[in-house]
Chains A and B, each alone.
Chain A
Amino acid sequence: MAIFQHGSVSIDVDEDGFMQEPDKWNEEVAKALATTEGVDDMTEDHWKLVNYLRDYYLKYGIAPMIRKLCKETGFSLKKVYELFPSGPAKGACKVAGLSKPTGCV
């Protein structure tokens, strides 16, 4: 395990920079994690995506099916990649404080 520090944020992360303790997530943490994904400015669209993922995660314990994510946020998959270049699972989910996807994902 490593410690990720950015500004006043200090959190435990895994080898790929995913949060180890998702309970410690807050907006400051999201902004800090976003910098590791090449997103220095979290726009309204970024927040819309991240908040949707966060809410779904708190309710169901995992990220939604990608198709559902696109449908409910109104963003195409292309748009999701524009917002988070490493994609929904590795980029957006990381910023939303989810742990690294496992299995064949």
Chain B
Amino acid sequence: MNEKAVEHQETRETIIPVRKYPYYIEKPPKENRVGRFLEAFAAVLKYSDYKPLLDSYCTSNTKCNRCAVACPVFLATGDPRDIPCYRTNLILDIYKRYFTIGGAIKARLTNGFELTEEIIDDMLDGFYRCTACRRCTRECPLGVDHGLITRLARYVLSLIGIVPKALQVSVREQLEGTTHNTSKVPKEALINTLEFLSEELEDLLGVKMTFPVDRPGREYVFFCAVSDYLLEPETLMGNAAVLYAAGDWDKWTVGTHNYDGINYGLFYSDWHLENIIKQLVAEVTRLKGEKILIGECGHASRSAHDFVPVFAGKEAYPVTNFMEYTLKCIQEGRIKLDRDIVTKRVTYHDPCNIARSGWIVQQPREILKAFVNDFVEMKPSGQDNYCCGGGGGLVSIDEIHEFRMSVAGKIKAEQLRQTGAEICIAPCANCKKQLKELVEYYKIPCTVMGLHDLILKAIHIPGGKSPQERKEEAALMEM
């Protein structure tokens, strides 16, 4: 080792924490993690409604382990620490021992459970091996929501500084930064991107549509996962094409104070969840909008749909997922999709955050049936689907890429391969990113895209080029 390398090595040693964490943490707590965890847990219990829930889970949790067979992570590893019930019991044991009288007495008399540094390690690892997909919840005979326990555990851990840096820096930018979004897209860049998309749409469809920005009094205020403005032009163009073809171009707007539907609070922090929701509705209020229209993103849809009514008070605007909107347009005969455009075999991946509750399962299938001839389901699918392997914020954590591929996404990759589909529709920014990485990792000959990417190919645009014309043009481009 030369002198510089030695110096570099020394610098590294001073920065790498003594304890090895599975993901990057900004300021890892160095000492007394047990005491601080209990203090944070006490504070959360004091200022939230978790106590009655935990009391109930303590009496109902039978450790029957039926959840094990539902969990894609456990099925891939066979490691008992990956059983949802095992993780949940870490939290319940701590709760019983330190926050119930019976548990405290029992521990004194029987030399029972004590929280240790090792259990903290077990939790910070285990609760980020869970993708919070909540498949296990449907299997639990007593209805324990292990996904909720994952969020609670991550919440308490985050309060003592244990949270993946990838999530923390994104949320900080969203709430405290100048751009107010997770990908740090400034307003000027947003406008430049919308102008670019408008030019692309004109080239493709033969009609000019200028994106409505900061228009007050519109029915819909549109929020996608802000990453779509960097990565998913066709999803956004598909969204625009539907709004235009349906005759609703003057009924929607994008706001420039807040244009990000992402809410990582749903994955690790109730406090952030609430504040991001408040920021979202504040933009609708500023623009005097009537409804929140969420683009193709599972957790953005779920967080808005489930928590706007909880946290927004008088500003609780109705929340619509874009697929609901598109299906309504089809049913009302306001848009037409050409049946002869998509000839490849198509499958559909259900994003857990919108499918598990049964909210959005049938809508995308009805849309696909309107123009796709060779549609095949994954088995199982719908409410019982398997997670893509990147849920619960895991997809944003680059350093656990190998875990997401070889463990969490293993079953999904196998399911996808078995369909033989050439196109996999994944209407979610999280799922799309994970599945695109999965098909590459497992070398599956399948293209992953959003639902509106496919709709863009088949939609009839009044006064524009026909889908058939566009298909011929695209074929020429490829030659």
Contact = CB atoms under 8 A, between A and B. Distances in A.
Interface of A: 1-3, 5, 15-16, 59-68, 89-90, 101-105
B8 A104 contact: no
B175 to A, nearest CB: 13
19 contacts: A1-B15, A2-B11, A2-B15, A5-B4, A60-B188, A61-B189, A62-B183, A63-B230, A65-B229, A66-B231, A89-B230, A101-B183, A102-B182, A102-B183, A103-B225, A104-B225, A104-B396, A105-B183, A105-B433
B189 A62 contact: yes
B193 A3 contact: no
Contact of A102 (B8, B15, B184): B184
A103 B24 contact: no
B170 A61 contact: no
B429 A65 contact: no
Given A63-B230, A64-B230, A103-B183, 10 more contacts: A2-B8, A2-B15, A3-B8, A15-B165, A60-B186, A62-B183, A62-B184, A64-B189, A68-B196, A102-B173
Q: How large is the interface on B (under 10, 10 to 19, 20 to 34, 35 or more residues)?
A: 35 or more
A90 B225 CA distance: 19
B445 to A, nearest CB: 16
B395 interface: yes
B338 interface: no
Given A2-B11, A2-B15, A67-B233, A104 B430 contact: yes
Interface string B424-468: 000001100100000000000000000000000000000000000
B20 interface: no
Interface in B408-430: 429-430
Contact of A65 (B4, B233, B395): B233
B231 A105 contact: yes
B227 A3 contact: no
Contact of B193 (A16, A65, A90, A104): A65
Nearest to B189: A60
Contacts of B340: none
Given A5-B8, A65-B230, A67-B233, A104 B196 contact: no
Contacts of A101: 183, 230
Given A61-B184, A62-B183, A102 B169 contact: yes
Given A2-B11, A3-B8, A62-B185, A105 B227 contact: yes
User: Could you say which of A3, A5, A16, A104 has the most chain B C-beta atoms within 10 Å of its C-beta?
Assistant: A104
Contact of A103 (B7, B182, B197): B182
Nearest to B429: A104
B433 A104 contact: yes
B396 A103 contact: yes
Contacts of B196: 65, 67-68
B122 to A, nearest CB: 23
Contact of A104 (B188, B197, B395): B395
B231 A65 contact: yes
User: Could you say which of B8, B24, B184 has the most chain A C-beta atoms within 10 Å of its C-beta?
Assistant: B184
Contacts of B430: 104
Contacts of A3: 8, 11
B181 interface: yes
B226 interface: yes
Contacts of B183: 62, 101-105
Contacts of A63: 230
Interface string B1-21: 000100110011001000000
B262 interface: yes
B166 interface: yes
A62 B196 CA distance: 15
Nearest to A4: B8
B197 to A, nearest CB: 8
Contacts of A1: 15
Nearest to A67: B233
User: Could you say which of B7, B170, B262, B395 has the most chain A C-beta atoms within 10 Å of its C-beta?
Assistant: B170
Contacts of B181: 103
Given A102-B173, A103-B262, A67 B192 contact: no
Nearest to B174: A103
A59 B12 CA distance: 34
A10 B227 CA distance: 31
B8 A103 contact: no
A12 to B, nearest CB: 10
B322 to A, nearest CB: 16
B5 to A, nearest CB: 9
B227 A15 contact: no
A53 to B, nearest CB: 12
A68 B193 contact: yes
Contacts of B229: 65
A59 B196 CA distance: 15
B415 to A, nearest CB: 22
A62 B183 CA distance: 9
B248 interface: no
B327 to A, nearest CB: 25
